Amino acid sequence: MKNILVTGASGFVGSHLLKELTDNELTVVAIDRQTSETEKGSVQYFGLDLMDPKELEKIDFATVDAVIHLAGLAAVGPSFDEPMNYINTNIGIQVNLFEAALKQGAKPKFLIISSGSLYSSNAELPLTETSTVSPSSPYAVSKIGQEQMAAYYSQRGFDCIIARPFNHIGPGQNEGFIAPDLTKQIVEVEKGLGNKVLVGNLDASRDYTDVRDIVRAYRLLLEKGAPGEVYNVCSGVAVSAHDILSTIINLSSGEPEIVEDPAKMRPTDTPLIFGSHQKLTNDTGWEPEIDLTTTLTAVLGDWRNRS
């Protein structure tokens, strides 16, 4: 397996994934609607709108060994206000990819990126791949739809693997997620641009994994994962939002005032979530390697450089 197509290639996860793949001597066909590049090293770029099936005619799927499908709407919060947009976009893009490959008579392996957020809030912890699924957001519903479409196309002859990543953080992540939202405000305090950090529910605990560990898991799943299987990608450890905030503050030079913002509260918010990566480890040998402090140090440096 040498030639990998990556959708959403210019995004937070995509940029790290491209590095992971090329560092391991794989060539990449990178698709992103906003890309302005055409070719860089072993990466060939295409600026395509994946919601338009005709755009995908520009891709020669016969030359592609595997697809890692990242493109779509990723932030959970906005999905409550835009449920149909999330359903149409996240499921529609995936259908267009499969159909484009079918029309060309090609059947590359697909790694579909789902989400650990679709598990039931009442399921026993740690969450495993057999835990009950009960989505708590339109975003999670869209991910279940993607998994079901993958199951359908498996019946059409495609080898499909499902990855269910839990919360992932790291340098390059934009606002709309807890680490960048908090870090940006703390950097502003460092620079004297304010003295407050607005927060949502700090008691919620989640399973966070460095994005660089996550993209390594994706590469290993393509190499060693079993078609038709679902894999959690997670650290196996729960960390509260309060601990993330405290760690960032301790790493910074600022002393912010913490203010609760009702606008940052979600309609539903499960208090504790963490998963098991045992199946992934058994099949691929993957283990998380980057600790939270190292990750948040990189995130803080990233936002200092952006300011």
- Cα 148 from Cα 183, distance rounded (Å): 36
Same domain, 198 and 112: no
Same domain, 114 and 89: yes
pLDDT of residue 81: 95
pLDDT of residue 34: 75
pLDDT, tens digit (0-9, with 9 covering 90-100), for 147-176: 999 999 999 999 999 999 999 999 999 998
pLDDT of residue 39: 75
* pLDDT for 271 beyond 70: yes
If pLDDT is split at 50, 70 and 90, which confidence band does 264 have?
A: confident
- Cα 136 from Cα 121, distance rounded (Å): 8
If pLDDT is split at 50, 70 and 90, which confidence band does 75 have?
A: confident
pTM of the model: 0.94
Percent of the chain with pLDDT over 70: 98
CATH of the domain at 302: 3.90.25.10
Same domain, 64 and 153: yes
Question: At 31, which helix (H) or strand (E)?
Answer: strand 27-31
Same domain, 132 and 253: no
- Cα 126 from Cα 164, distance rounded (Å): 14
Higher pLDDT, 128 or 262: 128
3-state secondary structure at position 195? coil
pLDDT of residue 18: 97
**pLDDT, averaged across the chain:** 94
Q: Which domain holds residue 242?
A: 178-204+238-274+292-306
Q: What is the Cα gyration radius of the chain?
A: 19
Same domain, 151 and 104: yes
- Cα 16 from Cα 172, distance rounded (Å): 9
Cα-Cα-Cα-Cα torsion 201, 204, 206, 211, nearest 10 degrees, comes to: 10
Amino acid at 170: G
Among 16-25, 153-162, 194-203, 225-234, whose mean pLDDT is lowest?
194-203
* pLDDT for 32 beyond 70: yes
pLDDT of residue 255: 86
Same domain, 163 and 182: no
If pLDDT is split at 50, 70 and 90, which confidence band does 273 have?
A: very high
Q: Which of 135, 51, 139, 33 is nearest to 87 (CA)?
A: 139
- What is the per-residue burial (b if ≥16 Cβ within 10 Å, else e) of 149-187? bbeebeeeebbbbbbbbbbbbbbbbeeebbbbbbbbbbb
Same domain, 249 and 162: no
pLDDT of residue 37: 67
Task: Quote the number of domains for the chain.
Answer: 2
Contacts of 30 (CB under 8 A, 6+ apart): 5, 6, 9, 10, 14, 18, 43, 44, 45, 46
Residues 174, 180, 183: CA angle, nearest 5 degrees:
145
- On whether the CB atoms of residues 280 and 232 are closer than 8 A, the answer is yes
* pLDDT for 188 beyond 70: yes
pLDDT, tens digit (0-9, with 9 covering 90-100), for 85-115: 999 999 999 999 999 999 999 999 999 999 9
pLDDT of residue 40: 79
- Cα 23 from Cα 170, distance rounded (Å): 18
CA distances from 82 to 139, 199, 204 (A): 9, 23, 24
Same domain, 109 and 189: no
CATH of the domain at 157: 3.40.50.720
- Cα 163 from Cα 168, distance rounded (Å): 13
Same domain, 142 and 253: no
Same domain, 70 and 91: yes
pLDDT of residue 82: 97
Same domain, 218 and 245: no
Same domain, 129 and 267: no
Average confidence (pLDDT) over 185-202: 93
